[in-house]
Amino acid sequence: MSKQFIFNPKLDFAIERFIDAPTQLVWEALTKPEHLKEWYMPKAWGRVSRAEVDLRPGGIISIDIAVADGTEVPNVGCVLEVIPMERLVWTSMLFPGYRPAVFDDIPITAIMTMEPVGTGTRYIFTALHRDEGDLEKNKASGFYQGTEIAVDQFVEHVIAMK
């Protein structure tokens, strides 16, 4: 996958944060299952019950969510690109091994980039959607709001790791 993609505000959304921590800690919090469990799900909405990450193209990213009523919601995707401490790309459009996914949710491709800035890190999460309808459905469902909360929790978690 190319480092460059064309951001289209009609199809995509991005959340950017400056994290006052070294890029190595940001990468660790983003890619280690024990850290994902601490920040990935907005705490008021539920919790991560299980996380698995295989950081290689074709590898798995799997994060199961336990919601308030106890229901477990699996989230499985395929890793597309890994550039340690720079970029992680995965999609819910594919299962691990690049197998076509069957899903009842709105698929995304997630691009997470980070770059050192002084003693901290500029972090950007971008969600790419198939079409305008998918983006609007995700916004209406609370996905965007939940992602903003999760990114804020991510920043807090990284700072606490220092």
Q: Say what angle helices 143-161 and 132-141 make with each other, to 10 degrees.
A: 70
**Does pLDDT of 118 surpass 90?**
yes
Helix ranges, the chain (H): 23-31, 33-39, 132-141, 143-161
Residue 74 sits in which domain range? 14-161
Does residue 44 lie in a domain region? yes
pLDDT of 80-102, one tens digit each? 999 999 999 999 999 999 999 98
Q: For position 105, what pLDDT does the model report? A: 82
Pairing of strands 76-83, 60-67: antiparallel
Residue 141 maps to which CATH number? 3.30.530.20
**Does pLDDT of 1 surpass 50?**
no
Q: For position 103, what pLDDT does the model report? A: 72
Does residue 132 lie in a domain region? yes
Does residue 7 lie in a domain region? no
Does residue 6 lie in a domain region? no
Q: Look at residue 33 and give its three-state secondary structure.
A: helix
Does residue 8 lie in a domain region? no
Dihedral over Cα of 100, 101, 106, 110: its sign: negative
Does residue 2 lie in a domain region? no
pLDDT of 12-70, one tens digit each? 999 999 999 999 999 999 999 999 999 999 999 899 999 999 999 999 999 999 988 88
Q: For position 93, what pLDDT does the model report? A: 94
Q: For position 68, what pLDDT does the model report? A: 82
Number of domains composing the chain: 1
Does residue 94 lie in a domain region? yes
Q: For position 147, what pLDDT does the model report? A: 95
Contact 162, 47 (CB under 8 A): no
Q: For position 3, what pLDDT does the model report? A: 59
Does residue 113 lie in a domain region? yes
Q: Say what angle helices 23-31 and 143-161 make with each other, to 10 degrees.
A: 130
Distance CA 70, CA 92 (A): 23
Tokens 């999760």 found at: 150
pTM beyond 0.75: the answer is yes
